[in-house]
Amino acid sequence: MNAQNTTQNAWSPEDCDRTVAALQNADSLRILVVGDLMVDAYLLGRVDRISPEAPVPILRASLRERRPGGAANVALNLKALGAAVTVGGVIGHDQDGRDLQKALEEQGMDSDAIVALSDRRTTVKTRVMSGGQHLLRVDEEDDADLNREDAQQFLEQLASVLAARSFDAILIEDYDKGALSPMVIDGLLRMARDRNIPVTVDPKFRHFDRYRDVALFKPNLKELRDGLGLLWEDGDEQAMDQALTEGLNRLQSEWNPDTVLLTLSERGVRVKTPLQDVQQPAHPREILDVSGAGDTVIAVATVLLAQGLDAVSMAQVANLAGGLVCEKPGVVPIDLSTLLAEVRRLPIQA
């Protein structure tokens, strides 16, 4: 049976009840998050004038903040939804790494699957902001793939954690920072298959084609375009839609995911299964900052799919959650009570 491409707005009372129940039941889940851990640092202040030394703004700094970022922010989203979370990744033998691990533990998450490596530094992204607007971002990182020895150490730590506890899902968050080398990806997927644990993936370009036979594959538009080499002229919506349809069909055929959730920014999301291809529009929002929206989408999608919610309802609510976090500056996790209220307000169109 061929999948049908439609725009889907239907939302029944039963859809709402099932989704609310799944969100409220998130505290029954244990999820392993594996990926690129980083520190999101912020230098906040006010710009009043331009520098006399160069045509650049002068920030009068007033506040510094540091938050768990990357895969660690995905973990924070899962924790905010109520799930029990174990975090896996690599950090450096440095103060940034120690602070990050401590921050996760203070949030009540297990850090047993985190490995500290002496030959890498902890990734730190520093955003310089004024009035909620980004002025500059500074990245400090080592992003080469893990070497064989480090990858083996990481896999052994993951295997130990998987042997010690049962998990309802494994969420892989790839930021192309090297923790998810081909060896790590292949080994982790093999361990998940052996234990029959569903895997959800938020991919990046470098190893886009490595994630096979997963429960959920969640690229954004750029990742799908680059990962599959799709071509269309900017502004040609018809050509883009045709290319996306061909790309999603190819992805389903060659990668064999149960579900593909394609995020399309202001265009909403598109969810593809072997039997459905449904596009859902974005929910109107006052967008302040899109940073971290994808982290929220994959976290909410994982919680819902781990409980068997249908793909279209999952996409609807993950899309809604991603828009909600865009209303706040900086990278912030979803608020469960706000999400539940918004789900209950979705218009019923049975």
Report domain extents, the chain.
Answer: 4-38+67-345
Q: Which of 145, 150, 168, 295 is catalytic?
A: 295
Q: What is the pLDDT of residues 149-199, one digit of tens each?
A: 999 999 999 999 999 999 999 999 999 999 999 999 999 999 999 999 999
Dump pLDDT digits (tens) for 296-320.
999 999 999 999 999 999 999 998 9
Query: What average pLDDT does this structure show over 140-150?
Result: 96
Say if residues 330 and 40 touch (Cβ distance below 8 Å). yes
Q: Is the pLDDT of residue 3 over 80?
A: no
Asked whether 12 and 350 are in contact (CB, 8 A), the reply is yes
Nearest to 120 by CA among 90, 100, 156: 90
- How far apart are alpha carbons 335 and 296 in whole angstroms? 10
Averaged pLDDT of the chain: 91
Tell me which of 43-57, 87-101, 173-187, 319-333 is least confident. 319-333
Of the CATH numbers 3.40.50.2000, 3.40.50.1100, 3.40.1190.20, 3.40.50.460, which one belongs to the domain with range 4-38+67-345?
3.40.1190.20
Tokens of 110: 């297990």
Q: Is the dihedral of CA 255, 5, 304, 329 positive or negative?
A: positive
Rg of the chain in Å (alpha carbons) = 20
Q: What are phi and psi of 311, to 5 degrees?
A: -65, -40
15 is catalytic: no
